[in-house]
Structure 1
Amino acid sequence: MKNSKLKLNADKTEFLIIGTSTQRAKLNGFFPTHILSQSITPAASVLNLGVTFDENFNFKQHISKTCRCCFYRIRDLRRIRRVISLSVAKTIATTLVSSRLDYCNSLLYNSANKDIPKLQSPKLFSKGSHAFSSFFSLRGVLKSLHWLPVHYRIIFKMCTVAYQALSYKQPAYLNSMLTPTRNSRQLRLTSSNPLYIPRVKTKAGTRDFSVAAPTVWNALPATVKSEGNIVSFSRRLKTYLFNAAYPP
């Protein structure tokens, strides 16, 4: 920090220890510790770039805060719903609600199955008027809006980040985590450029980018991965996921 001409503010410093309760208990003897004459202990959760990280690394608090944010936006939209058309309401909802659901959502990949549906549940929109909550909860209307379910939105984000890391080598630290599979002999699958998936022993390990990104990338058809630029790739990827989410 000194080399970067930065100064630590002890009053605003928080740190987090992530792990199981048993793992965290082994470190209890090291705290509280002192930084610049201030006594500090590990926090149960911390906020980083708008994302709430918790000590169990399950993002339950972040999901709850995202739902509350969506409640707030929908309540505001309900106040003006009578004076705007349905098309305008859809545009506002896409801008304010959909964008909030998409923010840093790749961090939620392979989270607990009981937590992710909270972001998609019709209850999320039940705070609005009956007409507006119905508009959001109907699967057919969501399909007409071309909105992907939350699970597929997470996969979409993970795939686009992987595409940028592979195609543009940026950011470099993510590109270094993606390694093509090398085979001693030519196989048909090699034409689809599969990525190496490291072996992990825990479910938390499957959420690491080095594991999650190759997993979702390898599942994509070659016609999607072969697109030459990010715009056409995103368009074809969304079409592919949309058809998977809403089969005919």
Structure 2
Amino acid sequence: MQTHISFIIKTCFFHLRRIASIRRYLTHDACVKLVVSLIFSRLDYCNSLLASLPASSIHGLQRVQNAAARLTLRKTKRDHITPLLCYLHWLPVNTRISYKLSTLVYKCLNDSAPENLQSSLDLYTQPSDRPLRSAADPLHLHIPRSKLASAGQRAFPSAGPSAWNSLPLELHQSPSLDAFKSRLKTQFFP
């Protein structure tokens, strides 16, 4: 995955330099649209495959997002990045990955995802001899054991249920996809 991540970083910084050269001619809204279309389309493409990677691998992608926020808002490297991301309503990269995985799982549980993804998820069944705290959540998912410690945990059948089970119960019971996305983004913002 490191080769893929390095290519994304290189391409995104190339586009950021191109946008920076014309930034003084752009309005704030035009700059945001350019950054979202050229940078975030690359950061979000297949980012659910990056689940469970070490923070050192994701750090380069976060640097790209930070540079994009500073360019958009015309800030320097010395400005703290968290308020800038909050102002732009941009989730950090590792949170964007969890957001995408959780949204895919919600679609799977509500029959709006491809059949092969739906069939890879199983609801957790409670043992009959002892009650557990997770019994209150009927949508608690089973996380299968994986033989490969690195690649197995990043596969959707493991990473999806892990992201889903970490969410609060009220998010699991959202009535629609739009309501779920709205509540999830509110949950993830610092």
TM-score, normalization: structure 2? 0.85
User: Residue 214 of structure 1 corresponds to which residue in structure 2?
Assistant: 161
TM-aligned CA distance change 1:139 to 1:184, over 3 Å: closer
In structure 2, how many angstroms separate the alpha carbons of the residues matched to 1:174 and 1:67?
Answer: 29
How far, CA to CA, are the matches of 2:122 and 2:81 in structure 1? 41
Checking the alignment, whether the CA contact within 8 Å between 1:71 and 1:124 is kept in structure 2 is no
TM-score, normalised to structure 1's length? 0.66
Amino acid at match of 2:76: S
TM-superposed CA distance for 1:221, in Å, is: 0.6
Query: What amino acid does structure 2 have at the position aligned with 1:203?
Result: S
Between Structure 1 and Structure 2, the one with more strand by share is 1
Corresponding residue number in structure 1 for 2:146: 200
Q: Give the corresponding residue for 2:3.
A: 61
Name the larger-Rg structure.
1
Q: Structure 2, unaligned stretches of length 5 or more?
A: none
Give distance in 2, aligned partners of 1:134 and 1:206: 38
Give the equivalent residue in structure 2 for 1:85: 27
Determine if contact 2:9/2:64 at 8 Å carries over to the other structure: no
The equivalent of 1:150 in structure 2 is 93
**Larger helix fraction of residues:** 2
Residues in 1 aligned to 2:169 and 2:134: alpha-carbon distance in whole angstroms: 10
**1:191 aligned residue:** 136
Structure 1 residue runs of 5 or longer lacking an equivalent are: 1-58
1:213–1:81: structure 2 CA closer, same or farther, 3 Å change rule?
Answer: same
Residue 12 of structure 2 is matched in structure 1 by 70
How far did 1:124 drift?
Answer: 7.0
- Distance, in Å, in 1 between the alignment partners of 2:117 and 2:136 is 23
- Are residues 99 and 144 of structure 1, via their aligned partners in 2, closer, same or farther at CA, if it must alter by over 3 Å? same
Partner letter of residue 115 of structure 2?
A
Q: How many residues align?
A: 183
